[in-house]
Amino acid sequence: MQNKVVVVTGASSGIGAVLAEQLGARGARVVLVARRERELREIASKIGERASVSVADVTQREAVERVARDTLAELGQLDVWVNNAGRGISRMVSELNDDDFDEMMLINVKSALYGMQAVLPHFRAQGRGHIINVSSMLGRVPMAPFRSAYSAAKHALNALTANLRMELRAFPEIHVSAVHPGVVATDFGSSALHGGIDSRSLPGAQTPQEVAAAIVETIERPRADVYTRPGAKQLVLSYYGADDMGDMEQSPPFQLPARST
């Protein structure tokens, strides 16, 4: 980890902010990316000289490409790119409109696509690198119907992640990973489009420190698919291995509390 250059999007709060702090503590050079400059600089001040700030809207392709260019120009290397920016939604499938769906795809999928495409030429040229896409358990199993379009977006992100990994089989030192947290104690829920339950109030919510630690471990020991809490992988296997997935959807953990706005 020492002196690796790691770009972290969505670094102004939550998992991204904690991840940046943990990476800096382990000796990485961290580039914090988000729209909110004040918050980014506050986090960078905690990390110290190993942190750089890049204010950018990752839903804009040119902004993401600029982050990659500036990082290489200023630091001379780029080793890991973490696509962490994202946002939830509180609407059932029957309630979704075009703007809802488009925003979920833009924030949760296209921003990551822009990141992958921005860094790939450099990784190919040097023959190594690591892309980490922060997905969600909702990208594997539909445990919260009111997060419908978010779940769909994370399913799409998982598909892009796997397909890119297969595309890069000729580059064994370029790793592509998906990380799947469950409920995390951040402002994700209350910041969801159309409002929602504060994730910090939900029982059993995982701390952002635990999720960040799982991402750090993935950088140190690259794996394709990472679950951040015990039992999560087995739940996915049980769901898709069931004779009838509909039967599993009738019992916990597929019956979460109703949304609250």
Res 202 pLDDT > 50: yes
Residues 156, 135: Cα–Cα separation, whole Å? 10
Sheet holding 225-227, edge to edge: 51-55, 29-34, 5-9, 80-83, 129-134, 174-180, 225-227
- Average the pLDDT over 95-115 and give the result: 98
Would you state the pLDDT for residue 259? 52
Measure the CA dihedral 221/225/229/230, to 10°: -90
Res. 197 pLDDT band, cuts 50 70 90: confident
All structural domains of the chain: 5-248 (3.40.50.720)
Q: What is the pLDDT of residues 212-230, one digit of tens each?
A: 999 999 999 999 999 999 9
Residues 183, 204: Cα–Cα separation, whole Å? 8
Residues 228, 205: Cα–Cα separation, whole Å? 12
Res 37 pLDDT > 80: yes
Res 261 pLDDT > 50: no
Res 206 pLDDT > 90: no
Sequence-ordered list of residues with C-beta below 8 angstroms from that of 62, at least 6 positions apart, any chain: none
227 is catalytic: no
Catalytic residue among 114, 150, 227, 240: 150
Q: Does pTM top 0.85 for this prediction?
A: yes
Res. 186 pLDDT band, cuts 50 70 90: confident
**Distances from the Cα of 157 to the Cα of 22, 94, 254, angstroms:** 25, 22, 21
